Structure formats: C-alpha cells, structure tokens
Structure 1
Amino acid sequence: MKLEGEYIFDGPRDEVWAIVRDPEILAKALPGAQKLEKIDETHYAGQMFIRIGPVSGVFDGKLAVTDEVPPESYTLSVDGRGAPGFGNGVGHVALLEQEDGRTLMKYDGELQVGGRIASVGQRLIDTASRSMISQGLESLNSALKARLQGAETGIEVEYVPPSEAQFAAAVAKDVAREMMPEAQTLAMALLVAAVAFVLGFLMGRQTGRG
C-alpha cells in the first residue's frame, strides 16, 4: 500500500524538525501511542493501540531514522507486530520552508500489513491509514503552536492532545464518509436538496404573508 501526502505546519522548519524528532512529544501527540522510547540517536521502540474496523489491539514497534539531512529530510522505517497482525514500511519525509514562515511537509512511502488486520479489506485500511496520519499531523501541529506560543510569551502553554475516543471518532467519521456507497451519497444529496427546497418555500410563504 502506497501512502503519500502533504501537510502545512504553522511554524518555521527548525521548530517543526525539533517536534518530529522529539520522542516525548510524539508519544504524547500521536493518537494511540502508548509509549515511545529512544534507544539511540536513530532508533526507537514503542507501543501503539490501533483500531481499524472490527480489528483492534496493541502493536509493539521498532522505528529507525536514516538518511537524515537536518532540518530538511529523513527516511523512517517501521516494523510493528501484535495480536491483530503486523505492519512494516518505509517512508521519506521532506520539510520545505514557505515564504509565509510556515513549513510544508511532504511524505511518501510503502506500507505492508498482514494477519487479522488485513482481513478488513484494502480500501478500509487505506482510508483508516490516511485518516490516522491526518489526525496525527493535526495533533503535532497543535503541539508546535503551543510550544511557539510559550516561547513568545515566556509562559509555558500546556498542550492537551485529543483523547483516544476523540481520535477514534474522527477516524470513524472519515471511514464512513469514504466507504459510503455512491448511491447512498447521491440519495443523501437529494435529501438535503429537498429539505432546502421545502425550507425555502415555507420561508417564502411567510415572507409573502408579512
């Protein structure tokens, strides 16, 4: 499975680099992460709870960072295993400075999954994976903004990450939107149009009476 995308961080590249290479912040900000321990400068071990459809469980993972060019880019290798199955992949991350002072992250990689988690189907895995990445980046951006605000004011700003329930609800919403059959989507659009028409008609009648 190929994963690629981009995201805009609301801060300068040096600060974004510091955030994405800080295991303490990553463990706190990434939804589902239960721990992330630094083994050495480029290797980490951690645990993450993942739920995709009806399959869920804790994965024990190993992460390796290679090809570092601070603060521009790095390659990340992941190998996770647990009762729900396994997942491993390699991805490349690039951070690009923007004229407005923000930072564009571009990422691409390949992910392979197996075991029970693969039984939910490729489309569901793709959608859930993209949603989890999106939610994780949003959370990291919130942590970044809290750090920048604290540095500017001299007062530490506490960053409160989303709860697992909030994270799961957001992923479920994305999955439901993506997996909704086209016919159902069309029916929903027609229903919304019909309701809008009725409301407009009734409001018009009331205006006419006035």
Structure 2
Amino acid sequence: MHMSDQREIAAPVAEVWAALLSADTLLACVPGAKEVTGNADEGFEATVVQKVGPVKATFKGKVDLSNLVEGQSLTLTGEGKGGAAGFAKGGADVTLAATESGTLLTYDVEAKVGGKLAQLGSRLIDGFAKKMADQFFTNFQTALEGPAETEDAAEETSSEDGGEKKGLLKRLTGG
C-alpha cells in the first residue's frame, strides 16, 4: 500500500524538524500510542493499541530514522508485531521545505500488513492506513500550531496571552 500527501505547518522548519525527532511529540501524535521511548540516533520503541475492523491488538515495535539531512529530509522505517493479529511494517520518506507561512511537510508512505490483519482485505486496510496517516499528521500539525480556534476563542486568547498560540512543542520546551 502506498500513500503520499503534504501539509502546510505554520511553524519554522527547525521547530518541525525537532518535533519529528522527539519521543514526546511522537507519543502525543501517533493515534493509539501508549508509550514511545528512545531517540533519533538509536531509534524509537513504541506500544500502540489499535482496532482495525473486528481486530483489536497491541502492537509493540521499533522505528528507526535514517537518511537524515538536518532540516530537510529523513526516512522512517518501522515494524510492529501485534501477536495473533499479525504485523505491520513500512516506511515513510519525509521532506521539509520552508514556505512564506512556515513549513511544507511532504510524506511518501509504503506499508505492509500480515496475519489476521491481511485477511481483512486490502480495501479496509488501505482505508485504515490512510486514516492513521491523516490523523498522525493532523495531530502533529496541531501539536506545533496549537488547536484551531473559533473567532470568539481567538479573541479571548489574544487578550489573555498577547495572541500567541502555543503548540505542544512550545509548551514542552517552555518557549
């Protein structure tokens, strides 16, 4: 299964890059993540609970980062085992480019599943994988930009804190 998409994130490239390499950010953004440990140099280990159709499983896996070109691109490769439910493995090539309003993040994902998951059919699996990728990048964008605000909430926020939105990374680093 193959997916490609891009997101415009209202944050500087350096901030987006740092978030991609942060276990705390990944924990906050990966749907169903219960634990994410490790670092960009040695890789991350994760525990993720997901339900795909009638199959619910706890996946334990490892994600490695390679081809790192600081502030520009990286490759994520990972594999998770969900016991009797099967396995999921794949990779993503992620590129970052500065834009007038922040960072354009582009991703190209390749994924495979096996075991009971593979028996669910490619249509269900493809739809689930696309939903997971979309949810991750929506969560990632929200973590960096802060939640989308309605006009009333934006007015209240601007009077309370000088109009700054604080995303997850800024809250974590106190920035």
Q: Normalized against structure 1, the TM-score is what?
A: 0.67
> Structure 1 CA distance, aligned partners of 2:146 and 2:42?
26
Q: How many residues align?
A: 155
Identity %: 30
Tell me which structure has the larger Cα radius of gyration: 1
> Structure 2 CA distance, aligned partners of 1:61 and 1:141?
24
Find out whether 1:93 has 2:94 as its counterpart: yes
> Structure 2 CA distance, aligned partners of 1:126 and 1:156?
34
Q: Which residue of 2 aligns with 1:66?
A: 66
> Structure 2 CA distance, aligned partners of 1:40 and 1:20?
9
Q: Which residue of 2 aligns with 1:139?
A: 139
**Pairwise CA distance, 1:29:** 2.4
RMSD after superposition: 2.4
Q: 1:16 to 1:3 in 2, by over 3 A?
A: same
Q: Which residue of 2 aligns with 1:201?
A: none
> Structure 1 CA distance, aligned partners of 2:10 and 2:133?
17
Q: Which residue of 1 aligns with 2:37?
A: 37
**Pairwise CA distance, 1:157:** 4.8
> Structure 2 CA distance, aligned partners of 1:12 and 1:31?
24
**Pairwise CA distance, 1:103:** 1.2
**Pairwise CA distance, 1:145:** 1.6
Structure 2 contact 145–166 (Cα < 8 Å) conserved: no
Q: Which has the higher contact order (CA 8 A, sep 6+)?
A: 2
Find out whether 1:76 has 2:76 as its counterpart: yes
Given residue 91 of structure 1, which amino acid in structure 2 is its aligned partner?
A: A
> Structure 2 CA distance, aligned partners of 1:140 and 1:39?
17
Given residue 26 of structure 2, which amino acid in structure 1 is its aligned partner?
A: L
Q: Which residue of 1 aligns with 2:19?
A: 19
> Structure 1 CA distance, aligned partners of 2:78 and 2:60?
10
Structure 1 contact 72–96 (Cα < 8 Å) conserved: yes
**Pairwise CA distance, 1:128:** 1.0
**Superposition misfits of 4+ residues, deviation over 6 angstroms:** none
Q: Which residue of 1 aligns with 2:172?
A: none
> Structure 1 CA distance, aligned partners of 2:40 and 2:134?
28
- Whichever structure has more strand as a proportion of its residues is 2
Given residue 56 of structure 1, which amino acid in structure 2 is its aligned partner?
A: K
Q: Normalized against structure 2, the TM-score is what?
A: 0.80
Structure 1 contact 37–44 (Cα < 8 Å) conserved: yes
5+ residue gaps, structure 1, are 160-210
Structure 1 contact 6–105 (Cα < 8 Å) conserved: yes
| CA deviation profile, 1:179-202 (whole Å, cap 9, x unmatched) | xxxxxxxxxxxxxxxxxxxxxxxx
Q: 1:124 to 1:20 in 2, by over 3 A?
A: same
Q: Which residue of 2 aligns with 1:53?
A: 53
Secondary structure of 1:60's match?
A: strand
Q: Which residue of 1 aligns with 2:171?
A: none
> Structure 1 CA distance, aligned partners of 2:106 and 2:143?
19
Q: Which residue of 2 aligns with 1:162?
A: none
> Structure 1 CA distance, aligned partners of 2:132 and 2:140?
12
